Each structure stands twice: as C-alpha cells, then as structure tokens.
Amino acid sequence: MPSQTVVVSAEEISQLEPLADFPTPTFQKLKSPVPRWARVCLSALAPLLPIVAIIAFVLRIAFRNQPSNVRYAWLSFMSTLLIVSALFSTVAAVVVVSFVPVPAIVNTGLPDLDERNQFVALPAKTVLASSDASEQLKPLVIVVSPTVRLWNHQDVPAPQFGAGALLFADKSGYLFATANHVVTLAADKSAPASGHAMVATASGVWSSAAVVATAPDLDLALLWVGRHSGSSEFVQPIATPQDGSAIFVIGHPEGLKFTLSTGIVSGLRDQTIQVSAAISPGNSGGPVYDDRGNLVGIVSSKFDHNIDPNAENIGFATKADALFDPSHWRFTADGKKLLERYTSTVKARRDAPSATDKPEK
C-alpha cells in the first residue's frame, strides 16, 4: 500500500487552540520491602564483618523466591551494609596494628631447662673426651640474639646471633654469660646493650632474657631468665686457664648451631686468652671449657682475615675470672645481687675440701 505524506503548514499550526491545563499527576511512594527495625538491627552489626557476611548469605537464599522488588531492595541494602562493614573493619585493623602492641611471639621462660631433673655435675672427676664433652656440655649452651623492635612494637630476634653459657640455676631462674656485642646491634663494643635479649635452647623456641649486667671493656654481659617450674640447681665452676691446656669451644659458627670445636690455650694475654680452636661468626659469647668442664673463658673475637688472609686458628676469649671483679660491671635490676650470689657459691665450693682431700682415719 503506497504511503501518503501529510504536510502541516505553519499557518495551520498557529490556528490550533491551546490545550486546557491538566493537573500535575501525583505518585504515592511505595513502602520499602526492608522494614525499619531490620535496617536498625542490621546496621548495628556493621563492625562485625563476618556476621554481616553470614546474614547476607542467608538472606540471599531465603529471598530467592520473593518478588523481584523485594529481592532488589534487600540486595541493595545488604550490599551497602557489607561495604560499610568492610571499611569499618579495615580502619579498625589499621588502628589496632599501628597503636596496640602485638603480644611477642616468644616464651617467658626456658621450658627445656625447667623440665630437667638434674644438671651435669662439674668439674668432671676424669678428663672429658670430645664425645663426653659434647653430650654433657652442649645442654649448658644457648643461642643469644639482640632484640629488634618491629613497626608494630613487637620484639623479635635479630638475624645475627651468638652463644651464651649457663652459669647458675636455681628455683628462681637462670644466669647466663655471653659477649656484650652479641646483645647489642651496635658494632662498637662500648655501646650500651639494650634491656633485653632473645635466647633459645636446642628446641629453637625463643624466650626473652633481661640483660642484668654488662662489662663493655671486657666484652661481657649477663642475662637472666626467670623460671616457671622445676627446682634443679646448677653452678658452673670456673678455673684459671693454663697455657697449652686442652679446651672445648661450643657455639654456632656460621649458623651451625651447637657446634663443638677443640684446641688448646695458645697464649695468655692480660684479661684475654688466645685459643687455637676454630672460631667463626656465631661463636661469640660461647663458652671455653677446659677438659674437666670448668669455664675458663667467653669467646669474644677472632683474628680478622681481612688484615692477613694467611692467619689461621687465632681466636680470643675473655677470661672467666673477670666475673669475680665487680669493678668492670655495670648493673641493672638485680644484676649485682645475682652475680654476687653466683660468685660466692663458686668460691665456697672451690674452697670446700673435696672428698679426696679428707685425711684417712
């Protein structure tokens, strides 16, 4: 069928009469399918993101057969609530992590030592073979690391570590000796050590220890760890080093924990003894025992190969006798009392006559 074109001129348009005014249509707003009480109750749960997420999942299933306007209203409301809850949780997490100290992931004691029924009796009655020294003396050695505080105020061990030797144990706690530079991050040995250090036994679980005394000029420090259970006691005997005598050195060279090396006392130099036993980074602070298990020194350093690459087996340790001279020490907390308790016990046992010294009847 052919189409026809209708042309309306401007004159015809001008002759049209205006339409009468019609009233503006009004629309009545429909009531929201989400009740006010539901909005109030669910909004109160905004800080609890997991609960809001569970409720949203349940409602999604519950309203799957409802009219589309009901589903859309609830979906819109719950989506908004989830966004607000997520923002609230994020801000709260940032505030908590930034300003609230996180509990340290360390023990407050040394369970491995607490559970020991008894410690080895020293000095040994006979000369210790290397295998005997390894078995009996290694449990008296710990891993020691300076404390590093993270951005979230948590104390953790530093990447570098050294060793320490048990001096004294009773029902109240444990006193350890180590090198001063092991418990401080500063390269300068005269720099003060921090108030705490991290220590660990063979189990590898880190514990916090208090630095109760330091002797920077001798590169020595004392650590104290409180005890939570057990009452087994131990006192480490001290002996004067003899030139040429056999020794055992226990430490953690290059990260190889609880390594024993043997050698001799190569020389006596004021407050320092020179030893031929192999010493590497990680041995610092470790004990130097004689062949009866007496403590004769605390490892402090080795000859720098950067000075002479041909130098071999030249290590140094501070004499353990320095523990008896209080003039070298700077004490904190109960450090002076703890050191005096240890040294007085050692002197008393040293001066007491042994069974072999008693005259025959």
Average pLDDT over residues 340-358: 78
Residue 8 lies in a domain: no
DSSP single-letter state for residue 30: P
Residue 123 lies in a domain: yes
Residue 190 lies in a domain: yes
Among 3-17, 35-49, 70-84, 247-261, top mean pLDDT goes to 247-261
Query: Under 8 Å CB-to-CB from 243, ≥6 apart: which residues?
Result: 265, 266, 267, 268
Is the same domain home to 115 and 54? no
For residue 190, pLDDT beyond 60: no
What residues make up the domain containing 290? Answer: 111-352
Residue 40 lies in a domain: yes
pTM for the structure as a whole: 0.70
- Contact of 250 with 263, CB cutoff 8 Å: no
Distance between start and end Cα atoms, the chain: 149
Is the same domain home to 121 and 267? yes
Nearest of 202, 102, 111 to residue 156 by alpha carbon: 102
For residue 331, pLDDT beyond 70: yes
Q: In which band, very low, low, confident or very high, does the pLDDT at 62 lie, cut at 50, 70 and 90?
A: confident
For residue 92, pLDDT beyond 70: yes
Number of domains in the chain: 2
Is the same domain home to 116 and 256? yes
What is the predicted pLDDT for the residue at 77?
87
Is the same domain home to 192 and 325? yes
Is the same domain home to 118 and 171? yes
Span 280-326, pLDDT tens digits = 889 999 999 999 999 999 999 877 655 556 556 789 999 999 999 98
- What tokens were used for 190? 């005269």
**CATH code of the domain covering residue 183:** 2.40.10.120
Is the same domain home to 120 and 36? no
- Contact of 266 with 275, CB cutoff 8 Å: yes
Residue 292 lies in a domain: yes
What is the predicted pLDDT for the residue at 22?
57
Is the same domain home to 55 and 150? no
Is the same domain home to 173 and 73? no
For residue 204, pLDDT beyond 70: yes
Is the same domain home to 121 and 252? yes
Is the same domain home to 188 and 223? yes
Cα–Cα distance measured from residue 297 to residue 288, given in angstroms and rounded to the nearest whole number: 5
- What tokens were used for 344? 């007085």
For residue 130, pLDDT beyond 80: yes
Residue 127 lies in a domain: yes
DSSP single-letter state for residue 8: -
Mean per-residue pLDDT of the chain: 85
Is the same domain home to 274 and 346? yes
What is the predicted pLDDT for the residue at 21?
61
Residue 160 lies in a domain: yes
Residue 12 lies in a domain: no
Is the same domain home to 47 and 134? no
For the four alpha carbons of 308, 313, 314 and 316, in that order, the dihedral sign comes to positive
